[in-house]
Structure formats: structure tokens, C-alpha cells
Structure 1
């Protein structure tokens, strides 16, 4: 697993901690519900369509869940958009 090049090691560590917190069943991925909860907690309000769009775009292996590698890609985009907004 490689982090997006624009994330610092500290950001990756923080994201891993957040990911693990919301991976409530410790299966190495977060479900649609867990992702929605995580995004809401960090201030990214998404509706059902927005959540579905994120899953479609970032669930690369089409498992229906987001693993940590996929989560890093998603988080990198959200961080970049928040900084440039």
C-alpha cells in the first residue's frame, strides 16, 4: 500500500487511526454506514447520492466497502479540496 504523494506520514498515521476507529468489526475495511459516519464526524456532510458516488469512485475492487488504501485516496482528495476551497 502506498499513500498518495501529497499526504505526509503524520497525515497517514492520523488517517489510519481514524480508519481503525470506524472499522468497528476490525475486518480491514469500512462499510457504507461506517464511511458515512466517519465523513459526518470529520465535517463532510454527504447525502445518500454523494456517498454512493464516493463508493463508486473509490471502491476500486468493487467489494462494497472501502479498504485503507482506497480510504487514503479518498481522504487525500478530501484534504486537497478542503485546503484549496
Structure 2
């Protein structure tokens, strides 16, 4: 799901970004412990960012994991993720539209939830089928078995 283009400049985080980050964090906090592994942070950022510096990310992850637990809480995750967030909404909209087109391979105006299921399962192999079903139900708000552009945008932007 490499679709959100984010840069390496710092900015202020708005409510929509926090919601998006909360959803991403929750999806990967499989055990609902309030912490996610640093490797999962990398997975999340890989889905959201095209270009970022691995060494810079590793440094940020290590600085936020002061206790060397190998995990981050939500606040630490937000600080790491927002380091890379891009304020350019127009570029973001363009990237999301292009990503939707990539997943809407047949040009029908929707993505089948079966494809979304594969994407989510690939992002986190520890997700159970029930957890994936819950996420799909949250995303497919009209229970159509598909994710249309508006649902996709809501999922990706937290709106």
C-alpha cells in the first residue's frame, strides 16, 4: 500500500493525521498492549512513504526506544512518523488517487475487499482472519464487498 508520499521535513500534526496514525498503530498493535515493535513501525512507514532515509529512521526509532524494549508506544510512534509527514495536501491527494488506480486494476471504481484482505494480511502476518475481518468491516462502511474511492480515502487519511 505504498501510497502516501511523505517527506523528511518536520511539521505540525493535525487531527486527521493523528487519526490516520492511530488507525495504523491500532492495526499493528495486535495484542492491544499499547506498544508496537520497531519493525512494525518500519512496515507502517513503508506503506506511507516512498522515500525516507533508513539510517535516519533507525536513529529516531532508537532514540524513542530509550529502554531498549524493541517497541514504541503511540506517542513515540507519532513523533517518529510525523518527522516524515508532508503538509502538501495536493500532492497527497494526487498520490492517493494514483494508488487507488493501481489497486483498481480493472478500472471499476472500486477495490474488492478480497484484494484489501490480501494487502492487510501481507502488511502484518500476525493478524488473525478475525482481525482482518474487523478492519474490512470498518473500511467497507456500506458492506458492499468493495472499497470505493471515498472509503479508500477515508481509510488512508483517517477522515
User: Structure 2 length normalisation: TM-score?
Assistant: 0.40
Point out 4+ residue stretches in structure 1 off by more than 4 angstroms.
Answer: 44-47
Larger radius of gyration: 2
In the TM superposition, what is the alpha-carbon distance from 1:60 to its structure 2 partner? Answer: 4.4
More displaced stretch, 23-32 vs 56-65? 56-65
Aligned to 1:67: 73
Q: 2:60 aligns with which of 29, 54, 58?
A: 54
Match of 1:20 in 2: 26
Shift of 1:24: 2.0
Q: Is the CA contact 1:39–1:46 (under 8 Å) kept in the aligned structure 2?
A: no
Q: Secondary structure in 2 aligned to 1:78?
A: coil
Matched position secondary structure for 1:30: strand
CA distance in 1, matches of 2:49, 2:16: 20
Residue 70 of structure 1 and its aligned partner are, at CA, apart by: 0.6
Which SS does the other structure have where 1:12 is aligned? helix
SS in 1 for 2:84: helix
Measured in 1, the distance between the counterparts of 2:84 and 2:66 equals 17
Residue 35 (structure 1) shift = 1.4
Residue matched to 2:42: 36
Give the aligned length: 77
Structure 2: stretches of 5+ with no match in the other structure: 1-10, 89-159
Consecutive unaligned residues of structure 1, counting only runs of 5 or more, are none
**Deviations 1:30-68, CA, capped at 9 Å, x for gaps:** 102211211212135665x55532221222454321110
Counterpart-to-counterpart distance in 2, 1:23 and 1:46: 24
